[in-house]
Amino acid sequence: MTREQKYKYFYRGLITIALAVAFLVIGAHFSRTSTFDVRWPAHSPSHTMLLRPASSPESIRLVDYAADQLTITGMRIEYRDGSTALVTYDRGRPVAVRSFFAEPATAGAGAVATVSTLRKLSDGLAARKLKSVIEFKRDGLTIKSMVSYHNDGSIESVGVRDGADDYSVTVYGDSGVSGIARIAVYDGTSGALKSEQVFRADGTVASSFVSTSSGYSTEAKQTFFDASGTRTSEIVFDGTYDISINEYAADGKTLKQKTAFGYSSTVVTSYDAAGTNPVIERTFIDDTHISVRYFGADGKATLQQRWVKVDSNLTPGQIGVTSDGFYLTEAYEFHADGVSVKNDVSFYPGGKVVSTFENRPTIDWRPRTIKHYREDGTLDSTDECSASSYTCNTVKAVAAAASERAHVPAHFFKVVPLLPAPAATKPQVPTVNLTFDLR
């Protein structure tokens, strides 16, 4: 081997070792960082730039560390909407955040080029309009106070901790509008709303919210008013899974309609002129099933119907009585007690042909007659069920009776609007996030 060849292989070995060391260093560096962040030294000394994941509202974090390269001394956050936040630290703990409104020149990908040339984290912010100022509690995570501003510099809202450590917020009118728009108190730990008053521009109360805690449950009520101060509606959170919306007549006292959101269904009940007894009740089980119950003047149920959404596989000859794209699949009327079923009729898919007709002459469910019909509408068999036992005697229809068809009272086919359905998502007690996570 010549001398030149020895040098050639020697330098190749050095380059290979150097590359291996470089890869080990880079790999160790990235193993310490978030799987969503990418770090590398910025062009300016002492700054570290972190790119944020695409799902984050942040685009870049620019971080300053102490000499130990572990303790953060300052942070600047650039958001995708062009706004900027400057975080102040004390011995590695966040103490305050000042946020600034966006400038057109800083929006989008240009933010990388802008922050990479900064000498100090605060560079370029002196002329920017202040958006908000947040102070933290000693944990460096929980908000102690916050002041937000309109673009014209006027105060938008002020939030502070009270003596019970709850978070009180005062919101002022829009830019150029004087007066208070809203006062609210949130639970200092959970962020759930405890009390609130919302005002119109003329100072009248538009809505109020109040909650009371008892044992392990919290009951709350949000009430809405018209310009004259008359109650128009309210949302009642009863401390369980159930939530209801009550709507009132012009006097603010008479109940017109109640929408109750339960665990597996939503019930909309309309009331009589006195607001005392129900008139009609619609129960929404899902997008394809609706139940309707009718009531008499005494408030007792008289008739109930079940409606099913019309299936595209059904033929026109199969479809019977319809309303808002649903067909009647079953109807039953009650005895005078409003609970016990008297007559029950069910239909084949589409609602055109009767499938069964059941008669219960007394409130005791045992003595009953059930007639079964074929798909062509003719009688197939009859079940006679005994009052003294749980047994039924089935008799097949003889030739003379085979042509018998079901006679269904006309009021079973009563039609009312079924839609619109109530909102699919039930109301929730408003909450606010009382943390500013910088991890």
- Residue 177 has which token pair? 């509008």
DSSP run (H or E) holding 320: none
pLDDT tens, residue by residue, 97-149: 999 999 865 555 556 556 767 889 999 899 899 999 999 999 999 999 999 99
pLDDT tens, residue by residue, 236-272: 998 777 899 999 999 999 999 999 998 889 999 999 9
- Asked if 283 and 135 sit in the same domain, the reply is no
The answer to whether residues 83 and 102 touch, using CB atoms and an 8 Å cutoff, is: yes
pLDDT tens, residue by residue, 369-411: 999 999 999 999 999 998 777 788 888 887 666 678 899 999 9
Which of 123, 141, 159 is the last residue before a domain boundary? 141
Q: Structure pTM?
A: 0.78
Residue 328 resides in a domain:
yes
Residue 309 resides in a domain:
yes
**Containing domain of residue 319, as a range?**
277-434
- Asked if 281 and 135 sit in the same domain, the reply is no
Which of 124, 141, 158 is the last residue before a domain boundary? 141
Residue 112 resides in a domain:
yes
Residue 227 resides in a domain:
no
Residue 335 resides in a domain:
yes
Note the pLDDT of residue 21.
41
Identify the band that residue 37 occupies on the pLDDT scale cut at 50, 70 and 90.
Answer: very low
Please state, rounded to an integer, the average pLDDT across all residues of the chain.
87
Residue 352 resides in a domain:
yes
Note the pLDDT of residue 133.
98
Examine the pLDDT at 33 and tell me if it is beyond 50. Answer: no
**What does the alpha-carbon distance between residue 238 and residue 222 come to, in Å, rounded to a whole number?**
11
**Nearest to 339, CA basis, from 315, 318, 364, 358:** 364
Query: Residues 6 or more apart from 125 whose CB is under 8 A from it?
Result: 84, 86, 100
Measured in degrees and rounded to the nearest 5, phi and psi for residue 4 equal -65, -40
Q: Could you tell me the CA-to-CA distances from 386 to 360, 381, 391, 397 in Å, in that order?
A: 11, 16, 6, 19
* Strand intervals (E) in 348-404: 354-359, 368-373, 379-385, 392-396
Catalogue the long-range contacts made by 270-275 (C-beta closer than 8 Å, 24 or more residues apart): 272/297, 275/248, 275/249
Domains of the chain: total: 2
Residue 10 resides in a domain:
no
Integer-rounded Cα radius of gyration of the chain? 35
Residue 420 resides in a domain:
yes
DSSP run (H or E) holding 112: helix 110-115
Which of 99, 114, 141 is the last residue before a domain boundary? 141
